[in-house]
Structure 1
Amino acid sequence: MNKKTDIDIVIRYLEDPDNEQHKQQLNDWIQQDTANLDIFLDMKAMWQGDPLPAASAFDTQGQWLQLNATLDALPSTTTTSATATAASRNTRVFQMKARYWWAAAAVLAIGLTWTWLGPGSYKTITTAQNLDSLHLPDGSMVYINAHSTVRYSRTFGKNNRHIKIDKGEAFFDVVKNDALPFTVDAPDVEVEVLGTAFNVKAAGSGVKVFVQSGKVSAAYKGKGSDKKVILTPGQEASLARHGSTIDTRFYKKNNNILAWRTRTLTFDDAPLTEVAAALSDFYHVQVDISNQQLNDKKLLATFPNMPLEEVLDIMRKTLQINITHKDNLVEIY
């Protein structure tokens, strides 16, 4: 992180996250080294104002030497053309200095974080369109859905059993250890168990926790014990991003919450609205029912890891409905 180009890539993205070129540059940089993802996440947290962990011992002098070396390597001024006015040059110099001072502060703060955590303290697993599984040091298993990012400490199982889901979905099969609770840190939400099997899905709207066996507590971070719920098998909690209430519901045995892992969709007289939601989640497509009179049609079928087109064809014939599929949109009418 002492290279100006690395700092620039992250800052350009944070300043304009909708810019496709900046997204691609950031993605390419992260792919170069898995440690770059940790650096990006730390810088993003600071950009959003999230606090960093305090260090008990921090080499202030050493970090300032690194900071000064970084500043010395940066240009002091930049002009866009030879004919630029003195006023525009002064404005540009101020913008560049402000920008690189923030970047230098980020270098210092991340140095502090790494002093506390130790170099490369987190192992990061990021999936694209594939699924993955992870055998943790304590014997617990993690099954990771596509388009997900999971991190855990390199000291996992020794003095902690703490894992983070930055985005996406994962299923946990946890080995029981009363002395060392297993915790999952998701955006705005913390989940704690002793030994169980459960699913955590972190989406843009919030976090969903579903329990297959055992007991799990789900709570908003830092909002008191009144914002906590104990979940039992078959129960799911929905916690909205930046929310304050927890919605829960029980599911019957044949549900598709874990279909992404079992690769099988099962519908037991399920209404078409439920079928549409499951298809959308499983195949990563948008499913619209334009004829609302079809909402209560029921489907009884099992699809073991079948292509979407085959599933839609069976639905057409079974329910005698019209379905079109183009690009990322499935329309039922």
Structure 2
Amino acid sequence: MSSPLPASTDTIDAAAAQWIARRDRGLSATEQDDYMAWLRADPRHAAAIARHAAVLERMMGLGAWQPELSAEPNPDLFAPPARRPWRVLAPVFALAAALVLGLFVWQSASPPAPTPQKTFLRVNERQALADGSVVELKDGSRLDMRFTSGERRVRLTGEAHFTVAKNPARPFIVEALGVEVRAVGTAFNVRVDAASVEVLVTEGKVRVDEPARLAAMSAPTPTAPAPAEPEVFLTAGQQVVVPLAASAPAPVVATVSKAQIRTALEWQTPRLQFFETPLAEAVTEFNRHNPNPLVLADSALGSVPIGGTFRVDNVEGFVRLLELTVDVRSEPRADGAVVLKRAR
């Protein structure tokens, strides 16, 4: 009897796109186990997830792009299609485009009627846990809690920042794709990616246990050998990336700067979210949260529909994206205001 043929690249890519979509809305405990089994079944699976996730990550980075740090965003993301329409691109790119932050979208076809909304400010979900700890969840992330008298355990899908209430008798454990982050009273960020778990400590100290070490510590026989991997401890200002691949090298603890910490946590910044919103309304919303106002010199510009999600404090990035995607130019005034005009 012949062996089954290996899955084609197209089949793997389609499955990877589906897993990315599931991860975005949050994996259940059973789905997390299935996801790990699928990743380990074929090395091409992790490569496909990483490839598609990199595309999505690259596009989502536009939401935090600030012109004062780089003169231009990646031009490929704004270049008009030269050879083929977007409809023929692979499904994963459609998924990435649908989730991108800060990217304007105008469609020639009439879109479905949006749900009327006048509240554009979007903040991350914050949960006050029963023990006094506080969790801030990034969009699309999910948390499952299992508190007992001996420990406080949560299972994370996505990314979250934890501020843990001190209780030495009940350690706080974050479980993410087989990796465990153990703390007593501290503040730290955990990010679950396609092929790794990233931990960043902003206060206190945590211990990070890899899947291999956990398996060795939980061996049923008392004569089980000591865990092969050393303990990994992090203190404030340190970060570690734990790869999920079985053959990956041991993680290395790195010291990060305050600027790097700000970059890693900038997802916590409140954002303004628009969908087919008239530019005049978007300008009004930005002006609510910033001291230097935007001014529309041409009233006809106010009816131009825009869409996207933007940091409330990133007015300059919003203006630059308007200049790149709409027939608009900007002129700063001496009083700090920025005037938006039609480009001539």
Looking at CA atoms only, which structure, 1 or 2, has the larger radius of gyration?
A: 1
Q: TM-score if structure 2 supplies the norm length? A: 0.43
Q: TM-score if structure 1 supplies the norm length? A: 0.44
